[in-house]
Amino acid sequence: MHCHAAEWLIGGGELKRTRIIAIDFVIMFLILFFIIQYANTKMRESNESSIEAFEKMTITAEQIVTNYLEDEQHLCDIWANYINRSAESGSPMTAEEAVSFIRKAKISPDIYGHLIFLDDPDQTGISTHTGVSAPNDYSVSYKKIDLFDDLDAISREVGVVSLTRAYTNPQNGIQSIAFMNFVKILDETTGETKEALLMRVEPVSVLEDKLVFLSGEYENVEISLINKDGDYLVHGQSLKNSNFFEYYKSYNHPDIDEFNKTTELITSGSGTLQMLNSKGEECVVSYTPLQSMNTWFLLAYLPAGDLKSNTVIDWLLLGIVSLGMMLLFVFNYLILRLYNKELTEAAEAANQANAAKSHFLSTMSHDIRTPMNAILGLNEMVLRDSHEEEIVEYSESIRNAGRTLLGLINDILDFSKIEAGKMDIINVDYSFASMLNDLINMVKIKAEEKGLDFNLDVDRDIPMTLNGDEIRIKQVITNILSNAVKYTNEGSITFRAGFENIEDDPEAVMLIISVSDTGIGIRPEDMKRLFQAFERIEEDKNRVIEGTGLGMSIAQSILHMMGSSLEVESEYGKGSVFSFRLLQGVKDRKPIGNFEETFKRYVSERKKYRESFTAPGARLLVVDDTAVNLSVFESLLKRTKVQIDTAISGDEGIILYRKRQYDVIFLDHMMPEKDGIETLKEMRSIGDNPNSKTPIVCLTANAVSGMREMYLSEGFDDYLTKPIDQEKLEALLLHYIPKEKIEAPAEDEIKDEHSVPDFLMDLEELDVDAGIAHCGGNESYMVTLTTYLDTGWKNADEIEKYWNARDIENTTIKVHALKSTSRVIGAFKLGNLASDLEKAGESGDIRTLEERIGTLLSLYRELLRDLSTLKKLRDDENAKDRPLISDKDLGEAYKVIAEYCDAFDYDSVIDIIQSLERYSFPEKEKERFEKLKKAVDNFDYDLIPGILRVTG
């Protein structure tokens, strides 16, 4: 579980952070969106109220202007009334009199009174003032001023404003407006009264000055007055053109409809127009008609910005909130990063722990398998060699226990592999019958041993060859069957295999497998725990039953990986049915036939194992970096009389491979410097060698399933797991050794006549009995011990060399080998120390290595020194039987060796050294020959000329 948690933390950490950032942004966005919406609403409301206020101001201005205009009109009307009353009273005024009256009545010098004679086509009249450029001339003419097109439009009603457009006062050239009324005056020529137009003429600037004071709270407001056609009476600086509508058209480019609509709006009521001014800036024009006059309209112009100023606060608020949220976000992000960092560290630690666990498991596999190799291998020897019934019985127990142990280890390894996600489903074509055969064969015996009936019900139409992961399917079924056997004490176990065709896919079938038992069953409440790793149901009751509690969990996991699932039906106390449905490819539709019959026949023909053959003519090569393993291998095949060459490294193996023809070659996978696969590849790349057709079998403690395919794909012909199963080994040899070399088994027995020298018993650091037990007898122990000694010095130097170069990997491999071999010979103290240092090396604990590797090397070398007596004894023993070589022959031999060395013909050097071994040597030459032999053994051929020179 930690593993998953750690992965989630590391793998999911980034995802999680991204998600949180995204959520943060969404929340921030929503808040900002809300604020903007709110601000916009407020702004709109505020704008609306600003516009409303502006419109109110416009209306106020309009009232003031109207009042002013009405007042002015009223003054004009007073003049008119006075003149008209004279006429009404029968004494109409002459034009001169009327103008004279007005001259007196008016107060302001800026205001002119014009009396225009309507009967004059030139629209002349008399003014209260002379012309500016004609000091004595009071006449005035409107001939060239287009002002009186529509006299009917001038109201005769009192109080109604009759106003001209802005025009140039012909008397003074000043832009003016005039209020009008009709008067009756005396025509002096005819003596009749006639109608004339009275005008109260005022400079526009007077009106403009009044409008300036209407601005109120709006500093930049400009008041304009326009007539129905848009012509200005007065206009502010911003409104260009002489006509407002033309101005609007020029700078806002409305289409004709829009233009008409706008002019209609402005001349029909009050309202506000948003438009662009001549600079392209937004502006607001509020309009309203002048009351009591339907011909003039007041426009109040204001830059749009002046109305929107009060919204600044909202933007400020928004800015501050955004900034605050950004700060909060950054703060959150930093905290998140900090936590993430801590979590990542924790996750990494967990991962490291998990990796350590996996490493521990695989190391355990290897470490357990190595001694198991020895245990089971040697136990096989005991089984075969012992004639004592009791010993055989014990030995059988050892074998069973050993196999159980291996099964448990396999479970743990598989489980760790599944957890690490490294379990792959590898589909291959397989024979369904053959698979059933294997697994039923295995379980049936167990069932029968327990007194249970084992029933088979296999559909005879199941296709012969299917495509799927045979190994995994087998593993699943084995787990279910084993479980059934384990938890069933009486009754039967029934295995059913059937299938269904898939409608749409003729190249696949749905395999239906079920196993029913009459076992103890499962309580409903325990069901969900069934597939949980390390859970054992009713632990108290089933304590005697072996198992890790992983079997069902592994089976379920594997089925899940294959797209299936294990179903369970169970009745507590009565039994259970485990079943699954699995989609499998079909390679050969031929039905398997009556499997039960076939199986029965197979069983009846099965024979108990016995030594099946001898092959004295056959020769094998075994390459393993662990001398002890080589020794065990030799022992296992001792009775077959097969000739065995051993090599302690890949390179050594390759030399032998070039030189001698073998029937089968066995290569250990894990070796330092050059591992089994590298060695194989190098061997296969050598052209022109005697072994190009020799099968090469991989030896491996790496028993994790799925490895077979890997080894075969790497180029091995076969593979064999350690501890080596003798039956499998011999079956394999029978398969590969040419038939002509196979002979009938030998009947004679070989006794272990070897004795162990007494001095070994005195060595404190050596547990001789344990060593003999490990090696399977005195002889093999002595052989193993000698091998240990022969390779020891060089091995110690190498460890030192790797360590000095701080090559931790190779140091660890070497220490690992030392651990195994030291333990095999019974040097437990050294073995344990090596084990500690191996672990230190694997975990990269350099400090421990630094502290203790010196002790290891000194212990190792001390042991080798103690064991050196053994060599001497052996040499003496050997020497006794050998003829003493003459100085001449020896000299001759050295010369030839030197020549071969010069010619790099080391094979011949080896041959000579081997032939020299048949002789004993004079005392003074013994050491030199030993050195030569050692040099040859260690492939240090370049040392040979030096050795010869020194001695020669």
Partner 1 sequence: MTVKKLLSRILISVSSISLLTGLGACGKQADNNKEFKPLLSTDTTCSIKVAGNYSNFESLESEFERFYEYYPNVSLNYVSMDDYENTIISALLSEEAPDIYVTATWMLDDEKMKPVFENAEILSDPALNIDLDCIRNGARWTLENGDVVMLPIFTRSYGMLVNMDIFEKNGLKVPEDYGEFKEVCASLKAAGYETPVMGANCTSVAGMYYSFAFPYFCNTVMGDQGKVESLNCMDSSAGESMRPALERIEDFIDAGYLDPELCSAEIEDDYDAVIMRFFEGDVPMMLGSGDMVSGTQKRENKSEAFLANPFKYKFFVVPTGDDGGYFLDSVNLFFSVNKNSDNLDMTNEFIRFLMREKELGNMAAIKRLITPTNDFSLDEVYSSLEGFPEDKAFSYQETGLNDDVNKEFRAAAYKVANGEMTVDEAIDQYGNLWE
Binding to partner 1, residues 366-405 (CB under 8 A): none
Of the two residues 123 and 288, which places its CB atom closer to partner 1 in the complex? 123
Q: Which residues contact 887 (CB under 8 A, 6 or more apart)?
A: 922
- Candidate ranges 170-178, 475-483, 846-854, 886-894; the one touching partner 1 (CB under 8 A): 170-178
Of the two residues 107 and 256, which places its CB atom closer to partner 1 in the complex? 256
- Candidate ranges 19-27, 171-179, 307-315, 566-574; the one touching partner 1 (CB under 8 A): 171-179
- Kindly state the smallest distance separating residue 269's Cβ from partner 1, in Å: 27
- Candidate ranges 162-170, 379-387, 585-593, 922-930; the one touching partner 1 (CB under 8 A): 162-170
Tell how far CA 32 is from the center of its chain: 33
Q: Would the CA dihedral through 128, 134, 136, 140 be positive or negative?
A: negative
Of the two residues 144 and 560, which places its CB atom closer to partner 1 in the complex? 144
> Which residue, among 231, 247, 236, has the nearest Cα to 279 in the 3D structure?
247
> Which residue, among 764, 646, 639, 757, has the nearest Cα to 699 in the 3D structure?
646
Among 131, 463, 650, 672, binds partner 1 (CB under 8 A): 131
The structure tokens 């009603």 sit at 157
- Kindly state the smallest distance separating residue 242's Cβ from partner 1, in Å: 5
Among 84, 86, 128, 172, binds partner 1 (CB under 8 A): 172
Among 15, 23, 26, 132, binds partner 1 (CB under 8 A): 132
Indicate the pairing of strand 696-700 with strand 664-668: parallel
- Candidate ranges 233-241, 291-299, 445-453, 941-949; the one touching partner 1 (CB under 8 A): 233-241
Of the two residues 131 and 672, which places its CB atom closer to partner 1 in the complex? 131
- Candidate ranges 86-94, 129-137, 421-429, 587-595; the one touching partner 1 (CB under 8 A): 129-137
Of the two residues 229 and 907, which places its CB atom closer to partner 1 in the complex? 229
Of the two residues 243 and 395, which places its CB atom closer to partner 1 in the complex? 243
**Contact status, residue 647 vs residue 666, Cβ threshold 8 Å:** no
**Contact status, residue 491 vs residue 452, Cβ threshold 8 Å:** yes
Is 133 among the residues that bind partner 1 (CB under 8 A)?
yes
Is 433 among the residues that bind partner 1 (CB under 8 A)?
no
Burial classification of residue 306, based on how many CB atoms lie within 10 Å of its CB (0-12 exposed, 13-18 middle, 19 or more buried): middle
Indicate the pairing of strand 664-668 with strand 643-647: unpaired
Of the two residues 210 and 496, which places its CB atom closer to partner 1 in the complex? 210
Cα–Cα distance for residue pair 260/249, rounded to 1 Å: 10
- Candidate ranges 163-171, 590-598, 638-646, 771-779; the one touching partner 1 (CB under 8 A): 163-171
Is 171 among the residues that bind partner 1 (CB under 8 A)?
yes
Helices 906-916 + 887-902 axis angle, to 10: 160
- Kindly state the smallest distance separating residue 316's Cβ from partner 1, in Å: 28
- Candidate ranges 142-150, 327-335, 408-416, 777-785; the one touching partner 1 (CB under 8 A): 142-150
Of the two residues 54 and 245, which places its CB atom closer to partner 1 in the complex? 245
Q: Which residues contact 91 (CB under 8 A, 6 or more apart)?
A: none
- Candidate ranges 234-242, 565-573, 654-662, 729-737; the one touching partner 1 (CB under 8 A): 234-242
Sheet holding 282-289, edge to edge: 232-234, 222-227, 296-303, 282-289, 271-276
Of the two residues 133 and 190, which places its CB atom closer to partner 1 in the complex? 133
Binding to partner 1, residues 512-571 (CB under 8 A): none
Tell how far CA 600 is from the center of its chain: 53
Cα–Cα distance for residue pair 425/471, rounded to 1 Å: 9
Is 734 among the residues that bind partner 1 (CB under 8 A)?
no
Number of chain positions touching partner 1 (CB under 8 A): 28
Cα–Cα distance for residue pair 290/61, rounded to 1 Å: 10
> Which residue, among 612, 634, 639, 638, has the nearest Cα to 742 in the 3D structure?
612
- Kindly state the smallest distance separating residue 264's Cβ from partner 1, in Å: 21
- Candidate ranges 65-73, 141-149, 331-339, 613-621; the one touching partner 1 (CB under 8 A): 141-149
- Kindly state the smallest distance separating residue 337's Cβ from partner 1, in Å: 53
Is 146 among the residues that bind partner 1 (CB under 8 A)?
yes
- Kindly state the smallest distance separating residue 25's Cβ from partner 1, in Å: 44
Of the two residues 179 and 495, which places its CB atom closer to partner 1 in the complex? 179
- Amino acid, single-letter form, for residue 483: N
Among 28, 32, 118, 174, binds partner 1 (CB under 8 A): 174
Cα–Cα distance for residue pair 97/78, rounded to 1 Å: 16
- Kindly state the smallest distance separating residue 116's Cβ from partner 1, in Å: 14
- Kindly state the smallest distance separating residue 81's Cβ from partner 1, in Å: 29
Cis peptide leading into residue 616 (ω within 30°): no
- Kindly state the smallest distance separating residue 133's Cβ from partner 1, in Å: 5
- Candidate ranges 166-174, 333-341, 695-703, 915-923; the one touching partner 1 (CB under 8 A): 166-174
Record the tokens describing residue 496, joined without a space.
């059913």
- Kindly state the smallest distance separating residue 129's Cβ from partner 1, in Å: 11
The structure tokens 């001390």 sit at 862
Of the two residues 148 and 919, which places its CB atom closer to partner 1 in the complex? 148
Is 170 among the residues that bind partner 1 (CB under 8 A)?
yes
Of the two residues 279 and 387, which places its CB atom closer to partner 1 in the complex? 279
The structure tokens 């060089």 sit at 794
Cα–Cα distance for residue pair 788/818, rounded to 1 Å: 9
- Candidate ranges 145-153, 400-408, 671-679, 870-878; the one touching partner 1 (CB under 8 A): 145-153
Binding to partner 1, residues 603-632 (CB under 8 A): none
Binding to partner 1, residues 235-264 (CB under 8 A): 237, 240-243, 246, 250
Binding to partner 1, residues 181-220 (CB under 8 A): 203, 205
Is 139 among the residues that bind partner 1 (CB under 8 A)?
no
Strand, coil or helix: what is 109? coil
Q: Which residues contact 230 (CB under 8 A, 6 or more apart)?
A: 243, 244, 245, 246, 263
Among 190, 257, 279, 739, binds partner 1 (CB under 8 A): 279
- Amino acid, single-letter form, for residue 71: D
Cα–Cα distance for residue pair 917/901, rounded to 1 Å: 18
Is 169 among the residues that bind partner 1 (CB under 8 A)?
yes
Burial classification of residue 729, based on how many CB atoms lie within 10 Å of its CB (0-12 exposed, 13-18 middle, 19 or more buried): buried
> Which residue, among 752, 791, 770, has the nearest Cα to 638 in the 3D structure?
752
**Contact status, residue 725 vs residue 632, Cβ threshold 8 Å:** no
Is 168 among the residues that bind partner 1 (CB under 8 A)?
yes
> Which residue, among 671, 675, 657, has the nearest Cα to 620 in the 3D structure?
657
**Contact status, residue 613 vs residue 742, Cβ threshold 8 Å:** yes
Cα–Cα distance for residue pair 809/788, rounded to 1 Å: 22
Cis peptide leading into residue 591 (ω within 30°): no
Strand, coil or helix: what is 669? coil
**Contact status, residue 508 vs residue 586, Cβ threshold 8 Å:** yes
Is 332 among the residues that bind partner 1 (CB under 8 A)?
no
User: Applying CB under 8 A, which residues contact partner 1?
Assistant: 131-133, 143-147, 167-175, 203, 205, 237, 240-243, 246, 250, 278-279
